[in-house]
Amino acid sequence: MATTDAASQTKAIELKKEFDAYRHADERFANNFDKYLEFIDFLPDATFIIDRNSRVIAWNRAMEKMTGVKKDDIIGKGEYEHAMPFYNRRRPMLVDLICTENSEAELLYNFTQRDGDTLYGEAYVSSVFGNREAFLWAKASPLYDKDGNLVGAIESIRDITERRNKEQALQESEERYRTLTENVADGVALIQKGKLLFVNNAFVTIFGYTDAEDIVGRTAVDLIRSDCQHDFEMLLAALESGGVSNNTFQGLSLSKDRREFWIEAQNNMIRWNGETAVLSTIRDITETKMKALAFEEESHRLRGENIRLKASMRYRWRLGPLIGKSAVMQEVYERIHQAAASDANVIIYGESGTGKELIARAIHEMGDRRENAFVPVNCGAIPEHLLESEFFGHKKGAFTGAYSDKHGYLDLADNGSLFLDEIGELGMNIQVKLLRALEGGSYSPLGSAEVRHSTIRIVAATNRNLINQVNMGLMREDFFYRIHVIPISLPPLRNRREDIPLLVEHFMKNHNTGTATQHIPGNIMDALFEYDWPGNVRELQNVLHRYVTLKSIDFTSPHSPAISLEKEQTDRKYDPITTLSSAMEQFEKKILVKTLKETKWHKTKAASALGISRKTLFRKMKAYALI
C-alpha cells in the first residue's frame, strides 16, 4: 500500500515538472491554461482541453466518469482517441476541427453546426463507458491568447440519451394518438398548460381550418367566444388540479372565419410527458342546441300566454295562498302574473308579516321553474363569517369546523328560485361575491378549485327602502340594479281593511280543523277593523289562533285591550294577570312592540335600542308570535 502511494506521488511530481517546463516554453498558452484549469474540473458536463498539438491539458471529473479514463493517464498525451470508446477516426472530435482550422472538413459531418467560432452538434455513438449505446451532444470553442492567437480548444460533451429516448417515445405516442383519433368523427385535442399540443383532422374541420399546424401551439381559449372563455379556463384549471366532478363544457366557439357555433366538450385529465394535460373530445351541437332553444322559447311563450289569460280576469278574491279582493291586492295579483311570465329577478317590498314569502312562492309555482327547488334564505339570521360558506358551499377541511362537504344555497337552487328574505341585511362583501356569481353564472365552493354552474332566479324581499340603502353606502348600486328588476309593493293590512273578513274566515277555518267553524261576534269584528295591525296578516293569524284557544282577543299593541267572548259582555277589558312571571312577560312584550314600531320594525335598530343582540331579539319576537 505504501509503495503504491509513493509511486503515485512520484508520478505527480514528474507531471508537474513536465507541465511547468511546457508552460514556460509556451507563454502564449500559459495564461489561458491557468484560467480554465481552475474551474472546468467541477463542470457538470464532460469537458476537456487540447492545445494546438492535440495534447490533452485538462480532463475533468465528468470526463473521467464518461470515458472511464483517469486524468493522470491522459494529461499530456497527444493521442487521446484511445480514451474515447465512442471515438471515430473518420469523424474527428470538434476540438480537432477547430485546432486544425479545417473548415472544409466540417462539411463532411452533417451533425456539425457552427455559430461564430463555436461548433456544436449531436451524434449517435455505439458505446460509452459501460458499453451502452448513447446520443451525445457536444460543443467546442477555440481558446486564444492575449494577442488573439489560437492556442487550443475546449470541448464539452453531454449524454442526452434519456432526453432523446423520451422525445422518441413522445413522438411514437403522438403517432399512436394520431392514428387512433383520425378514425373517429369527433374532434380531439390535447391541451397542456392552456396550449393546444395536438388536434385531429375532425377538430380542424369543425373549426373551419385546413391544416392542424394553423391551430397547434395556440391558446385553447382563443377558440371560445369571449363571454364563455372564463368558464372554459376555470374548467381546464380545475381538471389539471384534479378538483372537478363535472368535466363537460357547453358554449359558443368561433371558427376561422369568426362564425359562432355551439360545441360540447368532454374533458378528461391524463398524464402527458410526465405532466398533467387535458384530453378533450369536441362535438358541434349547434343544430341540437338551436332546436332545444327554440322549443324552450316556444314553451316559455305558451306559458306566458296562459298566465296572461289568467291575469285578464278582472276580479279575484285570492291568488294561490294570497287572500284579498281590495283594489291594492288586485294590483299585486297583476304584478305577480307579470313576474311569473318572466324569468327576471323580483324584489318584494312590504312590512313584516304582510306575506312576502307567500308572494315569492306564488311566483315560483306559476313560473317556468316550478319543477325545481324553491330555496328560502333569511339573510338577517346568518352570521357574517358564515355567509360565503352558506351561499357557495364548502369542501371538507376548508376551515375549522368544516368536517364534511356542504352544498351552498346557489347549488341547491340550481334551475330554481332563490328567495332572499331581508336582503337589506347583506353586507357589502357578500354582495360583491353574489353579484359575480349571478352575472357569470359560475362560482367555486370554499376550499375548492372546482367551478360550479348554477342558473337561478332571485326573488328578494325587504321591509327597507333599498334606494336609501344605496344612497347611504349600505348597498352596492350594481347589486341593487341586479335584483331590482320587477318590484312588487305589498300593502300593510291597515291599508286594505276590506280584506279582513275574508282573512278572518280563512284563518278560522284553518284553526277549527275537525270542528264546526266558530263565528266572530260583532264587537270583536269591530275591534279587528279598528286595530292598526303593526304585525299585519301574521299578527291577525296569531290573534285568531289565540281567540280559538283562549276565547278572548289579545292584541299585540300595548294600548289595545282584550275582548272577552262572553256574549253579554261588550266592555273591553284586559285579561287578568295572575302571576308575576306572566306580568313580566306581558310587559316585556309591550316594550318589544313599542320599540319595533318606533324603529319601523327595523330589527337591527330595535335590538340596538333595547341593548340586546339581533339573535336575542329574534328569539323573543318568535316567543311572542311577533314573527
Contact assessment for residue 141 and residue 151, using Cβ atoms and an 8 Å cutoff: no
Backbone angles phi, psi at 577, to 5 degrees: -100, 115
Task: Say which CATH class 493-623 falls into.
Answer: mainly alpha
Contact assessment for residue 152 and residue 101, using Cβ atoms and an 8 Å cutoff: no
Rounded to whole angstroms, how far apart are CA atoms 377 and 390?
A: 10
pLDDT of residue 471: 93
pLDDT of residue 23: 47
Contact assessment for residue 411 and residue 393, using Cβ atoms and an 8 Å cutoff: yes
Rounded to whole angstroms, how far apart are CA atoms 546 and 552?
A: 7
Rounded to whole angstroms, how far apart are CA atoms 381 and 409?
A: 14
Rounded to whole angstroms, how far apart are CA atoms 544 and 554?
A: 9
Cell of 66: 464518461
Q: Structurally, what CATH architecture does the domain formed by 165-284 represent?
A: 2-Layer Sandwich (3.30)
> H or E stretch including 118?
strand 118-128
Domains of the chain, residue spans: 14-159, 165-284, 316-489, 493-623
Contact assessment for residue 380 and residue 372, using Cβ atoms and an 8 Å cutoff: no
Q: Residue 375's beta-bridge partner residues?
A: 418
Q: Residue 418's beta-bridge partner residues?
A: 375, 458
Q: Which residues contact 532 (CB under 8 A, 6 or more apart)?
A: 494, 557
Find cell 354582495 and name the residue. Answer: 431
Q: pTM higher than 0.85, yes or no?
A: no
Q: Which residues contact 252 (CB under 8 A, 6 or more apart)?
A: 224, 225, 227, 228, 260, 261, 262, 263
Backbone angles phi, psi at 318, to 5 degrees: -160, 160
The DSSP string of 572-616 is --PPP--SHHHHHHHHHHHHHHHHHHHTTT-HHHHHHHHTS-HHH
Cell of 95: 476540438
The DSSP string of 146-202 is TTS-EEEEEEEEEE-HHHHHHHHHHHHHHHHHHHHHTTSSSEEEEEETTEEEEE-HH
Cell of 391: 351561499
Cell of 436: 359575480
The amino acid at 124: Y
Contact assessment for residue 231 and residue 249, using Cβ atoms and an 8 Å cutoff: yes
Backbone angles phi, psi at 125, to 5 degrees: -125, 150
Rounded to whole angstroms, how far apart are CA atoms 178 and 579?
A: 89
CATH of domain 14-159: 3.30.450.20
Strand 417-421, strand 374-378: pairing: parallel
Q: Structurally, what CATH architecture does the domain formed by 316-489 represent?
A: 3-Layer(aba) Sandwich (3.40)
Cα separation values, 50 from 14, 39, 95, 103, 106, Å:
20, 16, 7, 18, 18
Rounded to whole angstroms, how far apart are CA atoms 108 and 345?
A: 78
- pLDDT, block means (10 residues), the chain with 627 residues: 44 45 48 62 86 86 84 78 55 74 55 76 64 77 86 87 77 65 77 89 90 90 90 83 73 90 88 82 89 78 63 60 87 90 93 93 90 93 89 84 85 94 93 90 84 90 94 93 95 89 86 63 80 90 85 62 43 43 68 82 84 84 79
* 14-159 and 165-284 have identical folds: yes
pLDDT of residue 178: 63
The amino acid at 119: L
Rounded to whole angstroms, how far apart are CA atoms 557 and 594?
A: 8
> H or E stretch including 226?
helix 226-241
Q: Residue 321's beta-bridge partner residues?
A: none
Contact assessment for residue 560 and residue 531, using Cβ atoms and an 8 Å cutoff: yes
Q: Residue 119's beta-bridge partner residues?
A: 114, 140
Give the number of other Cβ atoms within 10 Å of residue 585's Cβ.
15
Give the number of other Cβ atoms within 10 Å of residue 369's Cβ.
20
Rounded to whole angstroms, how far apart are CA atoms 616 and 619?
A: 5
